[in-house]
Structure formats: C-alpha cells, structure tokens
C-alpha cells in the first residue's frame, strides 16, 4: 500500500456521499497509483534516453530523435493535465457543491431551503427581511452532496443588521458554484440582464416561485415551482444535478480529490511543460534532465517515494545495449 492508498482509507471513513465513497474505493484499489506508475514509466523512458544522450553518446546507441521525445512528453503532459483538471469535480464531490439561493425579500428562499432539506431549518415569515444571516445545510441528490445557502433578501434598507446580511449574500454569491435566483413576480429585462452580469462565470438557475399563485408569469428558461406546496421541487433537484455536470461515478474512476495530490500534479505539469518547450527549442539535455527529474519527484511525492539515479541507470541498462 502506497501513501495515496493510505490516504484513501481516511477518505473512505469520512466519505459523506455515495460518489465520494466510490472514489475513495477506486483510489484504495490502486487505480490512481496505476495511472501514476504508467506516467512514471514513461518519464523514466525519456529520462533514460536523455541520460544516454549525455553520458553514452560515444557508444553505438540508437537514440530516439527529438520529435519522438517531444510527442512522448506531450502525451505525458496530457495525462497529467487531465488528472489535475479533475480536481475541481473531485473537490465538489468530496466537500459538496455550494449553491446560493438568491432573490428579493419574501420570495420564498427560506421555504425553498426547507423543502430541499426536507426539514424546517430556516424561519419562514411573511415579514420582509426575516433572514438576516446566512443559513447553510447539505442534501444528497443522486449521490452528490449539494451545500445549500439561504441568504438575506436583496432590497434597499436602513437596518444595519439587515444590511450586513445583504453584504454576506453577495459574498456567498461569489463563493458559490451554482446560483438559484428566485422570483415571485415578473422581472424586467434590465433586472434579468443585471442578474446575468452579477452571476457571470457561475451556473445560474432561474426559478419562478409561487407558481400556484402567479401562473401567468413568463420568465424564459425558468423552472416553475411552489416551494410552499412542494410543486416541481423534484424537477429543480434534477436540474441542479444536471447543471452541476458531475459524471456518474464508478469504483474504477480516477478523479483527484486530495489538495496535496493536486498541488503535486500542478508542479509536475509545469516541469513537463518546460521540457516540452526546451525540446521544441532544441535545448541541451542537461536542462531537460533536471526538469524531468522534478516531474518524476512530484509524481513520486503523491505515492510516497522518490526516483533515484540508480533506478534511471537500471532502466538504461535493462532497455538499451550499453557497454556490451
């Protein structure tokens, strides 16, 4: 068992949903380690060829040309980059996807939160400005954890405490991946444009609440619900799952969920990128060798080991006719 597999044991114990449980099982089984081993073997191959170029150039050795090395380095970088990019989904699966419920006062945000949580978590009142602080809780949808955030209603107010709550609303809007923007009246085109501007870069779901009372409201692409009556809540949950964009997880999938692994992969990507650039510029093998070793060390850090010069030499003598 290597270090990444040992870490998977802790992830398995702390798994809060089905998806994170499956990913921990996958890592514990060694699927992540196997991918890293494949990359390690390919990096050792390049490193060995470069070492041959540097140390055994006076002997009759058939070196790979720079184009072959460049393609191999690009393939390695592609795999490393794919693993690194998976961390965003992995973190969302492990920690929960933050979803902010935004809207004016008294549009039913707290009622919607209670419906989604299947419990009366937030105080519900007809009085405007009841919610003055952020309320958060989680629920699983199709094995994925969503962290719902009920926020203070947006309006002009002279109440200092309510103003602080509204400031936190905008803060949570920035921190959330998905925004549910709730309406109970027909918004103007200017208001809709402002919402799209404020949520740029976020995944936005427009929701028309109190559909049972205002069925004639027409908001393009909005989901029509009644939070109080529980109408169409399942459709909203399905939309949340689809918008989140998390693929169905199996126990064989390799998705990075550990921040330490992610940092190592980013450093490995930077070093192999330098190798690619130097190969394209036909730079000396000395610089290539240094960055290749950095990349190897970063990947080895994930599993808890280091690549030694002896391993490189063993790889050279086992794959190439040197000194015979």
Residue 141, H or E segment:
strand 135-141
| Single residue among 216, 244, 272 that ends a domain in this structure | 244
Whether the pLDDT of residue 279 is over 60: the answer is yes
Domain count for the chain: 2
pTM of the model: 0.77
Question: What secondary structure letter does DSSP report for 108?
Answer: S
237 in the same domain as 272:
no
| Single residue among 188, 210, 244 that ends a domain in this structure | 244
Please give the pLDDT value at position 64: 62
Please give the pLDDT value at position 149: 84
149 in the same domain as 203:
yes
For 224-281, the DSSP string reads E-BTTTTBTHHHHHHHHHHHHTPPPP-TT------HHHHHHHHHHHHHHHHHHHHHHT
Local confidence band at 141 (pLDDT 50, 70, 90 cut-offs): very high
Whether the pLDDT of residue 158 is over 60: the answer is no
If one compares 217 and 295, the residue with the highest pLDDT of the two is 295
The answer to whether position 249 is within a domain reads no
The domain in which residue 150 lies consists of: 94-244
pLDDT tens-place string over residues 289-311? 899 999 999 999 999 865 554 55
Local confidence band at 282 (pLDDT 50, 70, 90 cut-offs): confident
The answer to whether position 253 is within a domain reads no
In the sheet with 97-103, reading across from the earlier edge strand, the strands are 135-141, 144-150, 97-103, 178-183, 203-208, 223-224
217 in the same domain as 118:
yes
| Single residue among 244, 270, 293 that ends a domain in this structure | 244
37 in the same domain as 127:
no
Please give the pLDDT value at position 210: 93
Q: Whole-angstrom Cα distance, residue 70 to residue 75?
A: 9
228 in the same domain as 111:
yes
The answer to whether position 251 is within a domain reads no
If one compares 123 and 19, the residue with the highest pLDDT of the two is 19
The answer to whether position 224 is within a domain reads yes
For 81-105, the DSSP string reads HHHHHHHHHHHHHHH-EEEEEEEBT
Across the chain, mean pLDDT equals 83
**Mean predicted confidence (pLDDT) in 267-288:** 91
Whether the pLDDT of residue 315 is over 70: the answer is no
CATH number of the domain enclosing 222: 3.40.50.300
Please give the pLDDT value at position 123: 45
225 in the same domain as 101:
yes
Q: Whole-angstrom Cα distance, residue 70 to residue 280?
A: 7
The answer to whether position 233 is within a domain reads yes
202 in the same domain as 131:
yes
Whether the pLDDT of residue 208 is over 70: the answer is yes
100 in the same domain as 37:
no
CATH number of the domain enclosing 81: 1.20.120.430
238 in the same domain as 126:
yes
214 in the same domain as 103:
yes
240 in the same domain as 204:
yes
The answer to whether position 252 is within a domain reads no
The answer to whether position 33 is within a domain reads yes
pLDDT tens-place string over residues 70-103? 999 999 999 999 999 999 999 999 999 999 998 8
**Mean predicted confidence (pLDDT) in 28-51:** 92
Please give the pLDDT value at position 79: 98
Whether the pLDDT of residue 126 is over 70: the answer is no
Please give the pLDDT value at position 132: 44
For the ranges 19-23, 123-127, 161-165, 261-265, the maximum mean pLDDT occurs at: 261-265
Whether the pLDDT of residue 59 is over 70: the answer is no
Please give the pLDDT value at position 324: 46
Please give the pLDDT value at position 41: 92
**Phi and psi angles of residue 118, each rounded to the nearest 5 degrees, phi first:** 60, 35
222 in the same domain as 269:
no
Whether the pLDDT of residue 185 is over 60: the answer is yes
The answer to whether position 324 is within a domain reads no
């Amino acid at each position: 068992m290597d270090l990444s597999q040992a870490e998977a044991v802790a992830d398995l114990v702390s798994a809060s949903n089905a998806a994170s449980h499956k990913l921990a099982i996958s890592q514990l089984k060694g699927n992540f380690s196997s991918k890293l081993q494949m990359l390690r073997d390919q990096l050792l191959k390049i490193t060995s060829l470069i070492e041959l170029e540097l140390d055994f150039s006076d002997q009759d050795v058939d070196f790979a040309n720079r184009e072959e090395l460049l393609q191999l380095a690009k393939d390695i970088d592609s795999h490393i980059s794919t693993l690194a990019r998976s961390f965003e989904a992995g973190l969302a699966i492990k920690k929960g996807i933050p979803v902010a419920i935004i809207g004016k006062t008294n549009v039913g945000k707290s009622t919607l939160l209670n419906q989604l949580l299947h419990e009366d978590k937030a105080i519900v009142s007809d009085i405007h400005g009841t919610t003055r602080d952020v309320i958060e809780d989680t629920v699983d949808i199709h094995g994925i954890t969503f962290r719902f955030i009920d926020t203070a209603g947006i309006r002009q107010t002279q109440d200092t405490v309510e103003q602080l709550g509204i400031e936190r609303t905008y803060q949570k809007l920035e921190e959330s991946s998905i925004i549910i923007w709730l309406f109970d009246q027909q918004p103007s085109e200017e208001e809709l444009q402002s919402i799209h501007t404020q949520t740029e870069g976020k995944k936005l779901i427009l929701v028309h609440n109190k559909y049972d009372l205002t069925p004639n409201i027409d908001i393009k692409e909005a989901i029509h619900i009644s939070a109080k009556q529980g109408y169409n809540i399942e459709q909203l949950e399905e939309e949340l799952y689809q918008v989140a964009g998390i693929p169905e997880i199996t126990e064989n999938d390799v998705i990075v969920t550990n921040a330490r692994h992610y940092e190592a992969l980013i450093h490995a990507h930077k070093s192999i990128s330098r190798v690619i650039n130097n190969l394209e510029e036909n730079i000396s093998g000395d610089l290539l060798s240094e960055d290749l070793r950095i990349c190897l060390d970063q990947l080895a850090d994930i599993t808890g080991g280091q690549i030694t010069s002896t391993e490189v030499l063993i790889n050279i003598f086992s794959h190439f006719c040197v000194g015979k």
